């Protein structure tokens, strides 16, 4: 077991990024069409193909999911994923070839690196092509390449974040995994110790509590265009589309435990939930444990991040 989301049977992960301009995308490719749900809690989302995940709509399975930087421009990466899957003959058979179903969500990383370079069709293609069962790289990779946290004291006082992943296995064979690109306006806290791992810095470089800053300023505006945390939770459970949507909803608790504030007017926080297997279990168990695994993935995203774009990281402070 790798301790990453590829421990879930049927899940492959690939990254592609531009390390100079600090942006990228991450793709989950599913070995077989899998049930998927979604829950969007942020009020400024950038998404694609999320309406079809509503239980009342026809299509019940997806073939891949794309997480990308680049704000709305980054949705173009999903087209490259579709192109790759079509070349492999993977997709919904519509009688005139196949149509790969590839939901996607994006985060805003234009403030880091070169805003003129965004994940595009080619980058999405390369990420899908690279998808494998190898231990998933974390930190400044894929959709986390340009991610940052802690912007309530100005973007210049933010910290570098990244992409993280985690997994757990139960005795009955149930495997749950998560992958997340953490690009929050607030700070990231370890829920076990209460330690702030990364967040807004003051003029002396001290990491501050975002909510304290909001209280002191009373009407502190959330900086627009700097935020959004996007994630995928996966399991080898047998779930309906309705149940997968419930798991996505419950998984947001993992973000709430580790990120403050979360789900603001200027966030597009989005979680996809995928079910790849036939393990009989309760939706409540899968949802509860998905929140736990996602919380751990958020912490790993911060701990693996390297300083970049003029922003220090967790390692700058705690691993000198």
Q: How do beta strands 230-237 and 270-279 pair? A: parallel
Chain CA centroid to CA 112, Å: 18
Handedness of CA 235, 241, 247, 248 (dihedral sign): positive
Domain containing 141: what range?
Answer: 5-319
Kindly write down the DSSP assignment for every residue of 191-222, as one continuous string. Answer: TTT--EEE--B-TT--B--HHHHHHHHSSPPP
pTM over 0.85: yes
Neighbour-count burial of 172, counting CB atoms closer than 10 A to its CB (0-12 exposed, 13-18 middle, 19+ buried):
exposed
pLDDT in tens, 236-283: 999 999 999 999 999 999 999 999 999 988 888 999 999 999 999 999
Q: Report the percentage of the chain scoring pLDDT > 90.
A: 88
pLDDT in tens, 167-188: 999 999 999 999 999 999 999 9
Task: Give the pair of three-digit tokens for residue 264.
Answer: 């603001």
pLDDT exceeds cutoff 90 at 224: no
292 with 177: CB under 8 angstroms? no
Chain CA centroid to CA 77, Å: 15
pLDDT exceeds cutoff 80 at 222: no
Please tell me the predicted confidence (pLDDT) of residue 266.
83
pLDDT in tens, 116-167: 999 999 999 999 999 999 999 999 999 999 999 999 888 899 999 999 999 9
Please tell me the predicted confidence (pLDDT) of residue 216.
85
Please tell me the predicted confidence (pLDDT) of residue 115.
92
pLDDT exceeds cutoff 70 at 220: no
pLDDT in tens, 31-81: 999 999 999 998 889 999 999 999 999 998 999 999 999 999 999 999 999
Please tell me the predicted confidence (pLDDT) of residue 113.
87
Please name the residues in contact with 252: beta carbons below 8 A apart, sequence gap of 6 or more: 39, 41, 262, 263, 269, 271, 291
Per-residue confidence band for 320, with pLDDT thresholds at 50, 70 and 90: low
What is the rounded average pLDDT of the residues 98-125?
Answer: 95
How many CB atoms neighbour CB 122 within 10 A? 14
Number of domains in the chain: 1
Q: Report the percentage of the chain scoring pLDDT > 70.
A: 98
* Domain CATH code at residue 54: 3.60.70.12
Q: How far is CA 287 from CA 50, 99, 123, 234, 282, in A?
A: 19, 30, 32, 10, 9
């Amino acid at each position: 077991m790798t301790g990453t989301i590829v421990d879930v049977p049927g899940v492959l992960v690939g990254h592609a990024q531009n390390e100079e301009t600090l942006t990228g995308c991450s793709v989950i490719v599913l070995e077989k069409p899998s049930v998927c749900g979604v829950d969007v809690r942020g009020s400024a989302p950038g998404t694609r193909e999320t309406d079809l995940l509503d239980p009342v709509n026809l299509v019940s399975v997806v073939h891949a999911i794309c997480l990308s930087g680049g704000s709305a421009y980054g949705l173009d990466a999903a087209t490259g994923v579709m192109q790759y899957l079509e070349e492999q003959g993977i997709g919904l058979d519509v009688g005139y070839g196949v149509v790969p179903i590839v939901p996607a969500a994006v985060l805003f990383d234009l403030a880091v690196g070169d805003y003129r370079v965004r994940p595009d069709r080619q980058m999405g293609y390369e990420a899908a092509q690279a998808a494998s069962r190898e231990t998933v790289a974390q930190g400044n990779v894929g959709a986390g390449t340009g991610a940052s946290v802690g912007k309530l004291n100005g973007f210049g006082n933010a910290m570098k974040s990244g992409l993280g992943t985690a997994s757990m296995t139960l005795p009955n064979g149930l495997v749950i995994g998560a992958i997340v690109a953490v690009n929050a306006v607030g700070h990231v806290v370890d829920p076990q110790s209460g330690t702030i791992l990364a967040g807004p810095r003051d003029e002396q470089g001290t990491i501050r509590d975002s909510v304290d800053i909001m209280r002191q300023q009373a009407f502190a505006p959330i900086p627009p265009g700097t935020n959004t945390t996007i994630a995928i939770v996966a399991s080898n459970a047998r779930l309906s589309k309705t149940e997968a949507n419930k798991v996505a909803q419950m998984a947001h608790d993992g973000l709430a435990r580790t990120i403050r504030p979360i789900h603001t007017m200027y966030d597009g926080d989005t979680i996809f939930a995928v079910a790849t297997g036939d393990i009989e279990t309760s939706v409540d168990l899968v949802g509860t444990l998905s929140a736990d695994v996602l919380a751990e993935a958020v912490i790993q995203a911060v701990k693996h991040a390297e300083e970049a774009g003029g922003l220090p990281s967790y390692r700058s402070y705690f691993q000198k």
